[in-house]
């Protein structure tokens, strides 16, 4: 295969021209590169730069103290996440001052609303707000409750750098992502474009999010960026659903702007509500259901008729399956994270990891879609298992048309993933360890040194 100007120019018996870089694939499988159709890039970068402070990694006080002090001493914040009081009780400022390293520390409780700060952390924040702490700050205990917006304005001078995230994804064979963060707007688009131009972010990006006006995107004058406009993300919560008319109006506005919608549906009620709204408004090509965690059989026909696309996270079977088997109603278990039923019903299906809420390695999802195994080895809903080929193809659609696997052919963009073995071997143990090289638009963005 010859790659030129970002595309596959030729496939066959070719001779390298002088000076042309050459890679010997050694008979191994060359696949279309992977696309993660549901991810949150900046949240993943923040997570990768944080320490885990709760179960299953950290389970008691000595483990937490070791984790906090494991990093070499450096300036700047130490950010911990996932704390749970089963580790060391309700920790506070004094606890962190006694056991943590000497730098500003903030640790987030697993519930997401409480931060615990040490004295250096409180001092840092105090300097940056001239001592005007918000009501949620208790300086004595170091507890900061429900003040994330304030915390961001005080600490978040710079958005996280995405180069580590990009590097990691490239090593999995990922050349394109859809960022599904509901708050994404023009400002976030500018940050993404800037990191693409500077070279830290090397994947193509489709940015879902708010109904930002496409015309305001600073794209046309920056040809080295490859940000594309994605669906309008609607985040439903069963406990406080909007009025039905309000949802219909949101969908209508989005469709008028030629933007498909992407609706977060993790419960049966959220799915029923969304499908009813789409029934009312009509659909636009590209309308999608995120997660479809619980899909009762009687909804499959309606989903097929509406032509919606489902973006699923089979990695949740691995990562959360043991919890599901405990918590989920027995009646709902057979409706949980379906895969095969969507195929059989003629519903387009694509995959995303939802990182950092899931592991960012799509091969974990691909493997779980095949074996339906939880972390502890239990099986969830084996009737929904896919073949290795179906599973890998969940991640092989273009970001603008998920669920339609790309093919390797002359004239196609050179978005490729080279494995270190034949497919016949890779399909028996699906893992990212097999990825040897990744190309995005003809550019080699990952090359493993064997
Ligand atoms: Zn998500």
Dig out the tokens for 413 from the structure: 């963009």
Global pTM reads 0.88
For the chain, give the percent of residues with pLDDT over 90: 81
Question: Measured in angstroms, how far is the CA atom of residue 44 from the centroid of ligand 1?
Answer: 11
Radius of gyration of the chain, Cα coordinates, nearest whole angstrom: 23
Interval 13-72: pLDDT, tens: 999 899 999 999 999 999 999 999 999 999 999 889 899 999 878 999 999 999 999 876
- pLDDT higher than threshold 90 for residue 221: no
Q: Determine the Cα–Cα distance for residues 448 and 312; give it in Å rounded to an integer.
A: 29
Short-list 320, 401, 376, 378, CA closest to 353: 320
Rounded CA-CA distance 301/281 in Å is 18
For residues 86 and 230, membership in a common domain is answered with no
Question: Considering only CA atoms, which of 219, 22, 213, 215 is closest in space to residue 205?
Answer: 219
pLDDT for residue 381: 93
- Torsion angle (degrees, nearest 10) of CA 217, 223, 225, 226: 80
Q: Helices 268-281 & 244-256, crossing angle to 10 degrees?
A: 60
Between the CA of 12 and the centroid of ligand 1 the distance, in Å, is: 41
Query: What CATH number has the domain bearing residue 107?
Result: 3.10.310.70
Under 8 Å CB-to-CB from 235, ≥6 apart: which residues? 182, 264
Residue whose tokens read 């090593």: 171
Judge if 272 and 172 occupy the same domain: yes
Is residue 124 domain-shared with residue 193, that is, in the same domain?
A: no
| 251 and 338 fall within a common domain | yes
Tell me, yes or no, whether 95 and 215 share the same domain.
no
Same domain for 167 and 107: no
Selection from 143, 159, 136, 140 nearest residue 109 by Cα: 143
Quote the CA–CA distance of 378 and 319 in Å, as a whole number: 11
Ligand 1 centre from 115 Cα, in Å? 22
Q: Which two tokens stand for residue 73?
A: 């001493």
Characterize the bridge pairing of strands 143-145 and 114-117: antiparallel
Structure token digits, residue 412: 């196609």
Distance 233 CA to ligand 1 centre (A): 10
Is residue 14 domain-resident? no
198 and 107 in one domain?
no
Question: What's the gap in Å between 346 CA and the centre of ligand 1?
Answer: 24
Mean pLDDT of 316-326: 91
Please report which confidence band the pLDDT of residue 154 belongs to, taking 50, 70 and 90 as the band edges: confident
CA of 341 to the centre of ligand 1 (A): 22
3-class SS at 5?
A: coil
Which pair of structure tokens corresponds to residue 53?
Answer: 């402070």
CA–centroid distance, residue 267 to ligand 1 (Å):
14
Query: Which one, of 285, 195, 197, 204, lies nearest residue 32 by Cα?
Result: 204
Q: Tokens 């095949």 correspond to what residue?
A: 370
Helix, strand, coil: what percent of the chain each, to 5? 35, 25, 45
The pLDDT value recorded for residue 233 is 96
Confidence of residue 1 (pLDDT cuts 50, 70, 90): very high
Cα(40) to ligand 1 centroid in Å equals 7
Q: Which helix (H) or strand (E) holds 401?
A: strand 401-405
Inside any domain, residue 106: yes
- Per-residue pLDDT of 256-294, as tens digits, reads 999 999 999 999 999 999 999 999 999 999 999 999 999
Is 11 a domain residue?
Answer: no
Smallest Cα–Cα separation from 157: which of 134, 127, 133? 127
Ligand 1 center to 59 CA (angstroms): 27
CA of 344: how far to CAs of 168, 340, 384, in Å? Answer: 34, 6, 10
CB under 8 Å to 103, separation ≥6 — which residues?
Answer: 73, 74, 75, 76, 77, 78, 120
Structure tokens at 76: 């700047």
Residue 275 domain-assigned (yes or no):
yes
Residues 138 and 249 placed together within one structural domain of the fold: no
Cα of 39 to ligand 1 centre, how many Å? 6
Tell me, yes or no, whether 8 lies in a domain: no
Domain residues for 129? Answer: 50-155
- Mean pLDDT over residues 324-349, rounded? 93
CA atoms within 13 A on the CB side of 14: 15
Q: Could you tell me if 356 and 371 lie in one domain?
A: yes
pLDDT of 224 strictly over 90: no
| 339 lies in the same domain as 293 | yes
Count of structural domains within the chain: 2
Is the domain of 144 the same as that of 182? no
Residue 10, in any domain of the structure: no
Decide if 200 is inside a domain: yes
């Amino acid at each position: 295969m010859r790659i030129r100007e970002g595309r596959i120019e030729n496939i066959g018996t070719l001779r390298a021209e002088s000076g042309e870089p050459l890679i010997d694939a050694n008979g191994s499988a060359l696949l279309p590169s992977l696309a993660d159709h549901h991810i949150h890039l900046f949240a993943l970068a923040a997570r990768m730069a944080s320490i885990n402070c709760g179960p299953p990694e950290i389970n008691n006080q000595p483990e937490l103290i070791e984790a906090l002090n494991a990093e070499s001493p450096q300036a700047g914040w130490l950010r911990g996440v996932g704390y749970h009081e089963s580790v060391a009780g309700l920790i506070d400022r004094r606890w962190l001052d006694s056991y943590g390293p000497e730098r500003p520390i903030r640790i987030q409780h697993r519930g997401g609303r409480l931060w615990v700060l040490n004295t250096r952390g409180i001092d840092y924040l105090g300097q940056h707000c001239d001592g005007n702490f918000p009501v949620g700050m208790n300086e004595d205990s170091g507890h900061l409750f429900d003040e994330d917006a304030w915390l961001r304005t005080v600490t978040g001078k710079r958005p996280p750098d995405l180069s580590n995230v990009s590097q990691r994804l490239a090593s999995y064979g990922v050349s394109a992502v859809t960022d599904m963060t509901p708050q994404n707007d023009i400002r976030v688009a500018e940050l993404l474009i800037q990191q693409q131009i500077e070279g830290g972010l090397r994947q193509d990006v489709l940015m879902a999010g708010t109904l930002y006006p496409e015309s305001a995107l600073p794209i046309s004058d920056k040809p080295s960026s490859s940000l594309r406009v994605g669906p309008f993300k609607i985040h439903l919560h069963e406990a406080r659903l909007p009025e039905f008319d309000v949802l219909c109006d949101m969908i209508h506005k989005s469709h008028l702007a030629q933007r498909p919608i992407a609706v977060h549906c993790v419960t049966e009620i959220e799915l029923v509500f969304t499908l009813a709204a789409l029934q009312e408004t009509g659909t636009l090509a590209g309308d999608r259901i995120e997660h479809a965690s619980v899909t009762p059989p009687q909804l499959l026909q309606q989903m097929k008729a509406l032509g919606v696309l489902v973006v699923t996270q089979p990695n949740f079977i691995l990562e959360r399956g043991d919890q599901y088997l405990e918590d989920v109603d027995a009646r709902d278990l057979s409706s949980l994270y379906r895969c095969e039923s969507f195929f059989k019903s003629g519903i387009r299906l694509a995959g995303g990891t939802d990182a950092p809420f899931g592991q960012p390695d799509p091969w974990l999802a691909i493997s779980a879609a095949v074996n339906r195994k939880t972390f502890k080895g239990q099986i969830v809903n084996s009737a929904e298992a896919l073949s290795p080929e179906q599973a890998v193809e969940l991640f092989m659609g273009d970001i603008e048309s998920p669920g339609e696997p790309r093919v390797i052919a002359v004239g196609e963009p050179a978005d490729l993933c080279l494995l270190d073995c034949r497919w016949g071997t890779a399909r028996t143990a699906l893992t990212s360890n097999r990825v040897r090289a990744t190309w995005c638009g003809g550019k080699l963005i990952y090359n493993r040194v064997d």
